Structure 1
């Protein structure tokens, strides 16, 4: 599995069968109050809704696999957080949502958002380099690599990890820690580790 240079906020991890929560933030960014606000969320496919987990009086419709909330009013600048929990045996992607409300200017409709991927029982690597922004010419330039696995579940572990770093032209390593070695004619550094070391 390729390592991620960053862990996007749109990706979460969990163990199989473990409940996890989706939060829906509904904001009134306009200048008028909204009334009779209806928020509809499509529950992620292949996930099971956790009984009793829907917040704020939301109602689940098993025929359409949707959850619906009714809010009497949403004032300008007000944000309402709604939530529900699901559990699944395999990775899932959050569903679509729609918000419909009344205002003094008429009907207001908003829909769509970036989907949230929940990775279940799989490794989720994060690799980052830590180094000073400025060093003097000719001085040692230390670079440290942090490797994390955010995966959860019995199959999310990794063994025999190998970190390969291409060094910039003109850079000569003076020390490589943790058993790393310089390999090949191209400037590269190879560091093999077994998980748990």
Structure 2
């Protein structure tokens, strides 16, 4: 049911691991050294927009590699008709709703690690979808991977989705506390200035 000898599977798994790893390394470097900000003449917004384009582009590449890996894997019916169309369609709709509404709520700089550039939000976003999930963008993306696996009827896609989930959880172990530290430092600075 899973062909482990397909190079496309290995390439897709590498791309999936690369994305959150790379953007966390680049963002932490930006927070410490302001490399992209300096590259763009001291403008943190331009640096953040540049990183946004990179993250978005690598996301498209990752998705393309994932779908190629699915096509190279054996097909096996996993859901009976009509659920083989309904379930992946509903999962995709939910996943995209979570991803797009997260982006809308956070804005470009909030979505693409602007806080690492010193572009901080005034307050924590607590509206939809953050009022139902802590990490709706990651969860929505994972649902979209699962949707693709079920739509293409590729059992390997289920395993890849599990790998995506684990990769995102590992990334969040680094990203979440670091972001919290950035905002805690701002709160301390604000408190100092008030006294």
Same fold (TM over 0.5): no
TM-score class normalised by the smaller sequence: under 0.3
More helix by share: 2
More strand by share: 1
Q: Could you say which structure has the greater relative contact order, defined with CA pairs below 8 angstroms and 6 or more residues apart? A: 2
TM-score by length of 1: 0.21
